């Protein structure tokens, strides 16, 4: 279950909460003002960061600016006491999912790591069929995408054996019979980037 740590008057926290609700992702909410992190929670989340303490702290807050000149001198216990005293030191929201997914702050791109794989695949299929393919003569952007679309149109029903459904076969024939490349409009560039990210997240 995802744990969402928020601030009382934090627009980024509201955006993260709205995003999770919109995507039907269950979560437990904890207000860091009313219920601060325990020391064990703080240390556990800190271990999951890529950049250490700076990833957890709100560097734009007044509390941080008052502390920055001596932050390197603080022990972990002393830093935790500072955070307990001034919750605004923490960057919010903090989104955590076991065993090791962590996001501090809000990012439209990074928060997608919390989408279930089935949901990411569904959104990709919807993008594929949403009308991004356009007429060859109206655009001048060429993208070689035969292989990636072919892979998307194949259903792997059995190990070592790939089959295509009649509907997918018809779509495949319609798209690929005459040309070896497909011309895309600029919106479709976003689709290609999304596809690349989706493939990476599947690994």
> At how many degrees (to 10) do helices 186-202 and 117-128 cross?
150
Q: Which residues are registered as beta bridge partners of 57?
A: 90
Q: How far apart, in whole angstroms, are the C-alpha atoms of residue 11 and residue 199?
A: 31
CB atoms within 10 A of CB 95: 26
Q: What kind and span of H or E run contains 161?
A: strand 161-163
Q: What is the dihedral of CA 89, 56, 31, 2, to 10 degrees?
A: 180
Is residue 148 among the annotated active site residues? no
* C-alpha to C-alpha distance for 161 and 92, rounded to whole angstroms: 47
* Catalytic, out of 4, 6, 10, 94: 10
Residue 119 contacts by C-beta under 8 Å, 6 or more apart in sequence? 23
Q: Residue 86 and residue 71: Cα distance in Å, rounded?
A: 14
What positions carry a catalytic annotation? 10
């Amino acid at each position: 279950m995802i744990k969402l740590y928020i601030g009382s008057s934090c627009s980024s926290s509201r955006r993260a909460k709205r995003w999770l609700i919109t995507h039907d992702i269950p979560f437990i909410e904890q207000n860091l003002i009313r219920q601060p992190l325990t020391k064990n929670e703080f240390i556990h989340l800190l271990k999951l960061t890529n950049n250490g303490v700076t990833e957890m702290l709100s560097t734009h807050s007044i509390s941080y600016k008052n502390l920055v000149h001596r932050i390197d001198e603080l022990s972990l216990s002393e830093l935790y006491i500072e955070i307990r005293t001034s919750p605004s030191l923490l960057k919010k929201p903090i989104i955590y999912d076991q065993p090791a997914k962590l996001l501090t702050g809000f990012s439209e791109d990074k928060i997608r790591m919390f989408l279930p794989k089935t949901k990411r695949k569904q959104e990709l299929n919807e993008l594929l069929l949403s009308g991004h393919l356009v007429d060859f003569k109206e655009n001048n952007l060429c993208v070689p995408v035969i292989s990636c679309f072919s892979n998307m149109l194949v259903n792997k029903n059995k190990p070592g054996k790939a089959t295509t459904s009649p509907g997918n076969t018809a779509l495949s024939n319609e798209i690929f019979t005459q040309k070896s490349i497909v011309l895309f409009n600029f919106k479709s560039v976003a689709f290609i980037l999304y596809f690349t990210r989706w493939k990476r997240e599947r690994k």
